[in-house]
Amino acid sequence: MKRSMTLFFAAVSVAAMTAPAEAREMWTKQEANDWYEEQPWLVGANYNPATAINQLDMWQAETFDPATIDKELGWAADLGMNTMRVYLHNLLWENDPEGLKQRMDQFLTIAAKHGIRPMFVLFDSCWDPHPVAGAQHPPIPGVHNSGWVQAPGAERLADKSQHHKLEGYVKDVVGHFANDDRILAWDVWNEPNNAGGGNYEPTPNKKEMVAGLLDDVFEWARSADPTQPLTSGLWIGEDWHRVEKRDAVEKIQLAQSDVMSFHDYNWPEQFEQRAQQMLSYGRPVLCTEYMARGNGSTFDGSLPIAKRLNIAMYNWGFVDGESQTRLPWDSWKKPYTFDEPTVWFHDVLHTDGTPYRQAEVDLIKRLASAPKGVVPPTPPQPAIGAAD
C-alpha cells in the first residue's frame, strides 16, 4: 500500500510538471496603462528589409540579411523611430524552429543597438493564401506587395488536424522570448477578417474559420506568460466603440487585447474619429498601420493628431525595395510598368537611405524629440522667391 501511494504521488508530481501552463490573465486596464506610461511615445514603421519580398524571405537562413537590417534600422534611429512592427510566419518555425529563434535573437540584438523595440506579428490574413517555404518568386513588375503571403495559408487554416503545429509555433516562439525586454509587444494576428486582397481567389468560409481559431491563438500566447502585451487590431467598418456592431472576429480582438490597436489609411478626420473610438475602451492605443499618400493618409495629417492623443504610430513601409509598396493598391489591376505613380503610396526612404520627402522626415524627427503629448509648432518656412 505504501509503495502504491508513493507511485501515485510520483505520478501526480510528474503530471503536474508536464501539464500545460494555464494562460495568464488578460491585463487589467490599470496594468495596461501602467505599462504604457513607462514607454516613450512610440513611433516606427512596418518593417521588411529592402532585400526581402515577404516575411519568409526576411527570415529564412538563405536570405536573412543582417547587414541590410543593421543599415536600415540605423536610418530609422536617425529619424527618431524607436519601434518597428515585424512579421513572422508559422512555416518558418515548422521548417527550422531553432534557426528562426536564433535569427530573431540576432535581429533583436541589432534592433537594441539602435534603440528599437519591435512588435512581432504571428499570423496574417493578407495577400497570397498559398504560402510555400523556400526560394520566393521575384517581384511582379509594377505591382504592390506582389509576394506577401498569408499565415497560416488557406489549406492549413481549413485543416484542424494540423492546428497543433500552429499551437506549437505560438507557444514556443512567445515562450522563448516571454521575458525579453527587447520586445515591445506581440500582434497575434494581422487583419484576421481580411478576405486577402490582390487578385487571389478568396478562401471559402475564411472568416468563420479564423473566428474559431483566434481565441485559441490568444490563449496559446498567454499560456507562455509573456511580460509583453498582446493585441490584434481593427481595420475596417464604422462605430468601433460599439461592440454590438462588430463581427465575431472583431469581438474577440476587442475582448482579448491587452492594449488596443487599429489601422487607418484615410483622411485625418477619419483617423481622429477612429482613434477616439479606440481610446473609449480605456486602454493604451497603438495605430499599427497608416500612411497611404494617395488615399489621403499622410504623415502630415495623422502623425500630429496621434502625438497629441499619445497614440503609438507605425506607418506602412520604410525603405523602398522588393515589396514595391511605393506603388498603390490599384497596381494589382493596372501595373505601373511604364510610368512611376504620381506620388509614392507607402515608404519613407529610397533604397540609398535618402528621404522620399524631406518634410516628412523632418516632421517625424520633430515629433519624436518632443515630450509625450506635445506637438511642437511647425518652423516658419521661407517665402517662395525670397532672397538668400
What average pLDDT does this structure show over 300-328?
Answer: 98
As a whole number of angstroms, the longest Cα–Cα distance in the chain is 102
Q: Cis ω on the peptide bond leading into residue 379 (within 30° of 0)?
A: no
Label the pairing between strands 260-263 and 285-289: parallel
Residue pair 254/274 in contact by the 8 Å Cβ criterion: no
Residue 7 has pLDDT above 60, yes or no: no
Alpha-carbon separation of residue 103 from 64, 106, 135, 184, 236 (angstroms): 8, 5, 18, 17, 33
Question: Does residue 64 have a pLDDT over 60?
Answer: yes
Average pLDDT score over residue span 311-323: 98
Contact 86, 120 (CB under 8 A): yes
pTM score of the predicted model: 0.92
Residue 6 has pLDDT above 60, yes or no: no
Mean pLDDT of the chain: 93
Q: What is the pLDDT of residue 22?
A: 62
Q: 143-184 pLDDT, tens per residue? A: 999 999 999 999 999 999 999 999 999 999 999 999 999 999
> Which of 200, 196, 186, 198 lies closest to 121 in space, CA to CA?
186
Q: What pLDDT score was predicted for residue 380?
A: 79
Closest CA to 164 of 226, 216, 92: 216
CA 295/CA 273 separation, integer angstroms: 17
Asked if residues 191 and 235 have their Cβ atoms less than 8 Å apart, the reply is: yes
The proportion of the chain whose per-residue pLDDT surpasses 90, expressed as a percent, equals: 91
Predicted confidence at residue 382, as pLDDT, reads 66
Q: Which of 161, 157, 132 is nearest to 147 (CA)?
A: 132
Residue 361 — φ and ψ, nearest 5°? -60, -40
